[in-house]
């Protein structure tokens, strides 16, 4: 009888622990679900903001494709590769990729970015924004010089930006560009990318494949 009582007690304790684990698992699932919804909401908000800001902008290809295709594709490029540190789902980096041209090419201010998306996103966008008051060649020179100084998050935004642009050049030559100008862009882009190395090996590998195909 004593052994039977012990067995029943053990079974009861096991059942209690099992129910407790189930409650913990349900809480974790709910927490992860809520977190995922928050991430998705922030990304949708950034995509909507960028689409409205770039609504009148077009790419330089013959089809005049909507400019918003570019910032939307940048986080896609960023998200399809797993960074070495496992931060592929960093929502602030992905938002910055969506917003990276808004200050440079539209009437958006850094203050507006910070108010809507937070200081981290604002800082990333700030890091990858060129000063349009400077001559184009000086801006390109500064991209090379400043690339190694950027934070890892900003480097990944730039890597995704360059990857999309170079793939786009391979797909369709912009109006007014000849092959020499395309080759020169690839050479300049490689100089920028060389300064961004160490932030995302997978993105760098994809870029290196493009450079190798071009012989640069």
Domain count, the chain: 1
Q: Is residue 111 part of a domain?
A: yes
Structure confidence at residue 143 (pLDDT): 98
**Structural domain contains residue 200:** yes
Whole-number percent of the chain with pLDDT over 90? 49
For residue range 127-177, list pLDDT tens digits in order.
999 999 999 999 999 999 999 999 999 999 999 999 989 998 998 888 889
pLDDT band at residue 27 under the 50/70/90 scheme: low
Separation between Cα atoms, residue 87 and residue 155, nearest integer Å: 13
Taken in order 160, 162, 164, 170, the sign of the CA dihedral is negative
Residue 153, in any domain of the structure: yes
Looking at residue 66, its pLDDT comes to: 66
CATH no. for residue 82?
A: 1.10.3210.10
pLDDT (mean) for 60-85: 58
Dihedral, CA of residue 24, residue 30, residue 35 and residue 36, to nearest 10: 120
Report, as an integer, the average pLDDT of 92-119: 93
Residue 195, in any domain of the structure: yes
Give pLDDT, residue 79: 57
* Gap between the Cα atoms of 178 and 60, Å rounded: 13
Range of the domain at 135: 40-214
Tell me, yes or no, whether 143 lies in a domain.
yes
Select from 129, 76, 79, 83 the least CA-distant residue to 102.
Answer: 129
In a domain, 14, yes or no: no
Residue 13 lies inside a defined structural domain of this protein:
no
Cβ(211)–Cβ(184) under 8 Å? no
Residue 38 pLDDT level (bands cut at 50, 70, 90) = confident
CB 134 within 8 A of CB 104: no
- Is residue 95 within 8 Å of 111, Cβ to Cβ? no
Q: Tokens 């622990």 correspond to what residue?
A: 17
Can you tell me the distance from the alpha carbon of 86 to that of 186, in angstroms, rounded to the nearest whole number? Answer: 29
Residues facing residue 58 across a β-bridge? 66
The residues annotated as belonging to the active site are 104-105
Residue 35 maps to a domain: no
The model's confidence at residue 85, banded by pLDDT at 50, 70 and 90, is: very low
Whether pLDDT at 87 is above 50: no
């Amino acid at each position: 009888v004593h052994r039977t009582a012990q067995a029943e007690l053990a079974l009861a304790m096991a059942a209690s622990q099992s129910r407790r684990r189930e409650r913990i698992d349900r809480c974790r699932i709910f927490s992860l679900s809520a977190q995922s919804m928050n991430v998705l909401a922030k990304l949708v908000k950034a995509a909507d903001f960028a689409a409205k800001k770039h609504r009148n902008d077009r790419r330089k290809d013959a089809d005049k494709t909507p400019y918003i295709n570019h910032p939307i594709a940048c986080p896609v490029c960023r998200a399809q590769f797993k960074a070495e540190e496992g931060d592929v789902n960093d929502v602030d980096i992905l938002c910055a990729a969506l917003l990276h041209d808004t200050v440079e090419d539209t009437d958006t201010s850094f203050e507006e970015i910070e108010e809507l998306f937070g200081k981290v996103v604002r800082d990333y966008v700030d890091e990858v924004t060129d000063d349009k008051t400077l001559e184009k060649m000086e801006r390109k020179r500064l991209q090379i010089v400043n690339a190694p100084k950027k934070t890892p998050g900003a480097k990944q935004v730039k890597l995704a930006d360059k990857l999309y642009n170079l793939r786009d050049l391979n797909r369709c030559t912009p109006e007014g560009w000849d092959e020499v100008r395309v080759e020169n862009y690839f050479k300049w882009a490689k100089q920028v990318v060389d300064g961004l190395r160490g932030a995302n090996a997978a993105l760098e590998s994809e870029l290196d494949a493009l450079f190798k195909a071009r012989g640069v």
